[in-house]
Amino acid sequence: MNKNKNYWWKDAIIYEVYVDKFADNFRGLAEKLNYLSDLGINCIWLLPHFPSPMVDDGYDVSNYYNVRNGLGSLDDFEVFIKAAHARGIRVIIDLVLNHFSTEHPWFKEARHSVDNPKRDYFIWSKTGKELSGSYNPFFHLTPGNWIYNSKTDDYYYASFFAEQADLNWDNPDVFGEIIKIINFWAGLGVDGFRLDAVAHLIKREGTSSLHQPEVHNILKDMRRHLDVRYPGVIMLAEANGKLEQIATYFGKGNECHMVFNFPLMPNIYLAVKRNNLKLLESFIKNSPDIPDNCQWATFVNNHDEITFALLEESMQEEIISWLDPKGEFSFKGGRGVAMRLASIFKNNPDLIVFILSLLFSLPGAPVIYYGSEIGMENLARENEFTDSRRYVRGQFDWLQAEEQMRDSNSLLNRVKEIIRQRKERQTKVEKFLRYHSPGASL
């Protein structure tokens, strides 16, 4: 619990949202803040809002210093930030550190000449055979990690889609450029950065190119910069892996302030499926201690797939056959599903309430994916997306939300009550700590 009010992230209740799919643009999002405030949210995580060709719904960034066409202007962004802060709502933005869009000016320069100054900002090979053990997260969607570049008759490295060229973090100039980006957005008032795919930053021969030790040096340097220049602006790591492994992204309280608790999520579903909450009790009991100035970010679904890769294969099959018996929303060859809660628990709002109640009762800062509170479902299958994650990225249903606002027994109002009770528990614990800490006056 938050013993120090400066650690705002320890009491965060986070709402994950696309600006355009929720409110069209930043002016519209500013106007919708009353809805989020009434829901009980005190932190918004904005999915990518930068200019982008949108090959990966914004995670292929072509300009880190502006707002995407259609979302408004930088002035509109600042209006939104100030309006959020006026309501006591913090704002975290996505920072895509692993790769840039191949439409980014740096890469467009680099791909045309081996002598270009930006060439060493990316990773190249004459053969495309190096780093053969490196993990390919989109093995079911892409041909591999090396992409042929006809301009210079060689290959560039891409962990994800071919249109997302990986940065060369062994080049110190890359760190300097990212710090400039951080300074720009922190200067506009953002309260934190979600570090996308941070486990992938360093590539090494003979490894999976995941969770390399040098990543932690980068994070420590980044944290030092923030602590000096923008104290209170946080880093939230997206780094999937075993619990002991991802806990290292906190460092000794000198790396990321928050880390997504990926292993908790499949255990929540397993506990619900088996009607056995002792599974969760055991998971929490056996979780490693984390530094006092740090916090887990917890979730049950998001803009990506619900992944069960950390479970044993038999458990994966058990859970996925329960959630998606027809295999309609499979992702990564059956190791995960891209589904919203209301598509999983169709016509059963009680189960949605139960799983969200679990999420809000567990240690960590809960993240609620936009639309979960009103029972939004996956997009219709007739879209036939190759990337099944896009089924969970539909437009927010404001008509549905307005109907539920008027119904005291609606899912929306039940979720509001879950959040209210969470805040009430936080307040009680804070009062207890205040009056029972050493030296407290009675």
Structure tokens at 133: 């053990």
What 3-state class would DSSP assign to 122? strand
Ramachandran category for residue 343: left, alpha or beta (phi over 0 → left; psi -120 to 50 → alpha): alpha
HSE-up of 204 (CA within 13 Å, CB side)? 11
By CB atoms closer than 10 A (0-12, 13-18, 19+), residue 59 is buried
State the amino acid at position 107 in one-letter form.
Answer: F
Query: How far is CA 44 from its chain centroid?
Result: 11
Catalytic residue from among 163, 196, 305, 373 = 196
Instruction: Mark whether 238 is an active-site residue.
Output: yes
Cβ–Cβ < 8 Å for 219, 255: yes
Catalytic residue from among 238, 255, 305, 324 = 238
Ramachandran category for residue 28: left, alpha or beta (phi over 0 → left; psi -120 to 50 → alpha): alpha
Distances (CA, A) of 288 to 223, 243, 261, 322: 22, 8, 12, 30
Beta-bridge mates of residue 369: 16
- Report CA Rg, the chain: 22
Cβ–Cβ < 8 Å for 222, 182: yes
By CB atoms closer than 10 A (0-12, 13-18, 19+), residue 281 is exposed
Instruction: Mark whether 196 is an active-site residue.
Output: yes
Task: Please list, residue by residue across 354-373, b when 16 or more beta carbons sit within 10 angstroms of its beta carbon and e when fewer do.
Answer: ebbbbbbebebbbbbbbbbb
Catalytically active residues are: 196, 238
